[in-house]
Amino acid sequence: MSPPCEPQLLSSYAQPRLARSLLDIATSAVLYIALMVVMFLTVNSSYLPTLLLTVPAAGLLVRTFIVFHDCGHGSLFSSKRANRYVGRVFGLLLMQPFTQWRQEHAVHHGTSGDLERRGIGDLPTLTVREYEARSWRGRLGYRLFRNPLVMFGLGPIAAMIVGPRFVSHSWRPRFRNSVLGTDCVLFAMAAGLCWLVGWERLLIVWAPSALLAGSIGIWLFYVQHQFEAAYWTHSGEWSYTEAALKGSSYLRLPRALQFFTGNIGLHHVHHLNPRVPNYNLQRAHDENAIFQQVPTLSLLGGLRTVRLKLWDEERGALVTFAQARRAPATRTSAMPLGDAAAQEGL
């Protein structure tokens, strides 16, 4: 791995371009809303065309999330006000309170890979020792949570619909107001749409694409930090730069999928400097040698990471439940990522 570098290395890429940012809006939320209108208009004649449009609608909603995500980092526009207003509007499409989400995501960036600061804005991950120290109920609960059917099936409902609706009295007023204000507007929007198109049509048109987009989003968030040779260490040894370069994957996707996911597969670049807009991530990666040795995954390799469940501190690798059951002396060494990538044909 190349020597650590500072985020300032990418400062020249962290310059948003207004025309390009407006194009992002046009090719995400605007296209998504237009496609949803078409789906509502066609659902009465035949549900099959509407169902077929679910996939591109989900892709556009994922892209809308990436633009919302850039607003959260203040990277879509030079103006803080523009980022805030666009983020709030896009948050309604995604059912996310912008201010509260932005805060939790900032914590994620500042703690990713730190074993002592897990739990906010990231996917809960136990070490082998922590898992073994749990009661059988605790282990069962963790196994259920990490089951793909639960994580990608029920996960979108929890992450999009249920979880963001609640507030804590310990939060600052602006975070509580962000959630409560978003909830009120969403309730009014849902009531208006139910009156306009009916609740049955609303569910069969909106829900499939929204839940599919949520599943894709959870998988993207998972694969960006959950791979065999990931980066987890204790606070005293934790490094922001090392966490970005070693603990964030480069997910190489086909061009069409890279469009719908807003280049978020270049997650190592994003974590090194989150102020780089999504449309500058590829150029930053291509033009800087520091990124040529980062953990790289193919689409197939990314799908295979779902089997990894626990962080093994002795091996310095994420392992499966089966691997965790083996005695330390019989556990095989983690395959170097370069060898794994070679076997996947990268």
Burial, 10: exposed, middle or buried (Cβ in 10 Å; 0-12, 13-18, 19+)?
buried
- Please give the pLDDT value at position 251: 96
pLDDT for residue 118 is more than 70: yes
Domain ranges of the chain: 97-343
Mean pLDDT of 303-310: 94
Please report which confidence band the pLDDT of residue 297 belongs to, taking 50, 70 and 90 as the band edges. very high
For the segment 248-283, what is each residue's pLDDT rounded down to a tens digit? Answer: 999 999 999 999 999 999 999 999 999 999 999 999
**Residue from 9, 20, 4 nearest 75 by CA:** 20
What pLDDT is stored for residue 296 in this prediction?
94
For residue 341, the model assigns a pLDDT of 36
Amino acid letter for position 178: S
What pLDDT is stored for residue 344 in this prediction?
A: 35
The mean predicted confidence, pLDDT, of the chain is: 90
Percentage of residues in the chain with pLDDT exceeding 70?
Answer: 92
* Average pLDDT of span 206-232: 94
Name every residue whose Cβ is closer than 8 Å to that of residue 78 and which is 6 or more positions away in sequence: 16, 18
Residue-wise pLDDT tens digits, 22-79 = 999 999 999 999 999 999 999 988 888 899 999 999 999 999 999 999 999 999 999 9
153-195 pLDDT tens trace: 999 999 999 999 999 888 899 999 999 999 999 999 999 999 9
Q: For the whole model, what pTM was predicted?
A: 0.89
